[in-house]
């Protein structure tokens, strides 16, 4: 009897040791790590990353929940990703966690210099109250011919990432600060590797499709502004947030400069003040720069990689470009499903 009890205990604790490494501590890494740790108690999940909040690209994001079409992903899948994220952020915005997680509703408009061919994008029935702007509303923007008015959400990653980390630790997750130079380094200590390294995937997995797209934003003290305005070209936007108004932006491909460019600051202020003249009177609180993990479409798939005599399952979730916050919860659901598939294929002895 006494010899059997410890064996049962041992089997149980060993059953919990499918060791999963999630690499990356941006919004994609933490969302994915939370999903896995909460849904798969058989896994022990360790999140490893070189940089954590407040030093990730995700911390720089304006955090508007909005979408563009990715050319290589079926529209239905993109729709599911976007809806999953929208519903998730909506639920937090209406919970007592809203201020700690940094999530709020926000209403405003996206304006177009020329009317688009598709007046009803796939996300139009997911956001709230989508409608074309009236001529009266558009009078304010004499250089624009068309506009979409709607209510969406805004997620401020400088609050959301610490909130996700807390949730991850509560689910039993571990966190380690470390640069990973090659996935091979992890193959002895982990059974499954989940790659959420954003721009880092260019070198870590040699993906030449990934390219930096530099973005600069200014945080303004302008509490009287309550509605967002986005020019659909993505170069000019004003997003009121919880503590400040984010204005932007720039989209400089293959530009790796992480310092603030004063020329960009002047240009952003000028462009945004044309849309919202009171910004000329507002104080700049601070400025930041981030490198978007540009890619034609995000890579959310799994593969088996030969590492030192065995095939290690690797799940990828990176390359979200300018829309990583919006799609973080949705693509991490797919990453979770891919990890689940890996679990079914891992030889039994790895699980025991
Ligand atoms: C100015 C600007 C405004 C934006 N506004 C919005 C917006 O309004 N809405 C929206 O949806 N998106 C927005 N984005 C896009 C969004 O910020 C990105 O898509 C998102 O942050 C990508 O998240 P990520 O987790 O993949 O990358 P990151 O946040 O860059 O995280 C990558 C992580 O991987 C780690 N890492 C990389 N390589 C290694 C390695 N070799 N070893 C260990 N760790 C490694 C890093 O240290 C980091 O922890 C904006 C981006 C910018 C720059
Ligand atoms: O384009 C926007 O409105 C904000 C954003 O996602 C970015 O700058 O990448």
pLDDT band at 15 (very low <50, low <70, confident <90, very high): low
157-170 and 27-39 helices, crossing angle to 10°: 20
Distance from residue 290's CA to the centre of ligand 1 (Å)? 8
**Nearest-angstrom CA–CA distance, 67 and 122:** 9
322 is in an annotated binding site: yes
Q: Is the CB of 321 under 6 A from ligand 2?
A: no
Q: Is the CB of 293 under 6 A from ligand 2?
A: no
pLDDT given at position 345: 85
What was the ipTM of the complex prediction? 0.99
pLDDT given at position 309: 85
pLDDT tens readout for residues 141-196? 999 999 999 999 999 999 999 999 999 999 999 999 999 999 999 999 999 999 99
292 is in an annotated binding site: yes
**Nearest-angstrom CA–CA distance, 23 and 218:** 29
pLDDT given at position 90: 98
Distance from residue 234's CA to the centre of ligand 2 (Å)? 6
pLDDT given at position 3: 37
pLDDT tens readout for residues 45-95? 999 999 999 999 999 999 999 999 999 999 999 999 999 999 999 999 999
pLDDT given at position 351: 46
pLDDT given at position 352: 44
At a CB cut-off of 8 Å and minimum separation 6, what does 70 contact?
Answer: 78, 296, 297, 298
**Torsion on CA atoms 300, 302, 308, 310, rounded to nearest 10:** 170
More confident residue, 9 or 312: 312
**Nearest-angstrom CA–CA distance, 321 and 318:** 9
pLDDT given at position 180: 98
pLDDT tens readout for residues 298-330? 999 999 999 988 899 999 999 999 999 999 999
Q: How many CB atoms lie within 10 A of CB 243?
A: 12
Distance from residue 193's CA to the centre of ligand 1 (Å)? 19
Ligand nearest to the CA of 204: 1
Distance from residue 20's CA to the centre of ligand 2 (Å)? 32
Q: Is the CB of 198 under 6 A from ligand 2?
A: no
Ligand nearest to the CA of 321: 1
Say which range, 49-53, 117-121, 131-135, has the weakest mean pLDDT.
117-121
pLDDT at 350 over 90: no
Which of 322, 330, 331 is the best mutation target for the ligand 1 pocket, counting ligand atoms within 8 Å of the beta carbon and taking the most? 322
Nearest atom (ligand 2) to Cα of 322 = 9
Q: Is the CB of 162 under 6 A from ligand 2?
A: no
Evaluate whether 340 touches 7 at the Cβ level (below 8 Å): no
> Under DSSP, is residue 204 helix (H, G, I), strand (E, B) or coil?
helix
Distance from residue 248's CA to the centre of ligand 1 (Å)? 17
pLDDT tens readout for residues 234-291? 999 999 999 999 999 999 999 999 999 999 999 999 999 999 999 999 999 999 999 9
58 is in an annotated binding site: yes
pLDDT band at 16 (very low <50, low <70, confident <90, very high): low
**Nearest-angstrom CA–CA distance, 187 and 112:** 49
At a CB cut-off of 8 Å and minimum separation 6, what does 338 contact?
Answer: 300, 301, 302, 315
pLDDT given at position 308: 83
Protein residue whose Cα sits closest to atom 6 of ligand 2: 322
Structure tokens at 241: 């947030």
């Amino acid at each position: 009897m006494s010899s059997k009890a410890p064996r049962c205990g041992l089997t149980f604790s060993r059953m919990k040791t499918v060791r999963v490494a999630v690499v990356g501590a941006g919004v994609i890494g933490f969302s994915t790590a939370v999903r896995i740790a909460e849904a798969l108690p058989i896994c022990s999940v360790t999140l490893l990353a070189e940089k954590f909040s407040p030093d990730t690209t995700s911390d720089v994001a304006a955090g508007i929940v909005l979408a563009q079409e990715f050319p290589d992903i079926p529209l239905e899948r993109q729709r599911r990703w976007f809806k999953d994220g929208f519903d998730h952020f909506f639920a937090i915005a209406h919970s007592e966690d809203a201020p700690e997680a940094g999530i709020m509703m926000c209403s405003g408009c996206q304006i177009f210099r020329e009317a688009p061919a598709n007046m009803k994008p796939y996300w139009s029935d997911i956001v709230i109250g989508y409608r074309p702007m009236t001529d009266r509303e558009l009078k304010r923007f004499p250089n624009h011919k068309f506009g979409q008015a709607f209510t969406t959400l805004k997620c401020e990653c400088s609050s959301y990432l610490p909130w996700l980390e807390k949730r991850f630790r509560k689910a039993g997750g571990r966190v380690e600060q470390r640069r990973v130079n090659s996935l091979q380094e992890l193959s002895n200590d982990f059974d499954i590797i989940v790659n959420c390294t954003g721009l880092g995937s260019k070198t870590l997995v040699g993906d030449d499709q990934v390219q930096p797209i530099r973005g600069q934003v200014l945080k303004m003290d302008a509490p009287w502004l309550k509605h967002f305005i986005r020019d659909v070209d993505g170069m000019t936007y004003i997003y009121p947030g919880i503590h400040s108004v984010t204005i932007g932006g720039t989209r400089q491909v293959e530009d790796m400069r992480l310092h603030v460019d004063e020329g960009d600051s002047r240009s952003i202020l000028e462009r945004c003040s044309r849309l919202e003249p009171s910004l000329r009177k507002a104080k700049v609180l601070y400025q930041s720069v981030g490198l978007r993990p540009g890619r034609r479409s995000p890579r959310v798939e799994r593969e088996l990689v030969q590492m030192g005599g065995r095939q290690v399952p690797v799940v990828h979730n990176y390359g979200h470009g300018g829309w990583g916050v919006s799609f973080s919860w949705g693509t991490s659901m797919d990453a979770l499903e891919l990890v689940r598939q890996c679990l079914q294929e891992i030889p039994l002895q790895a699980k025991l």
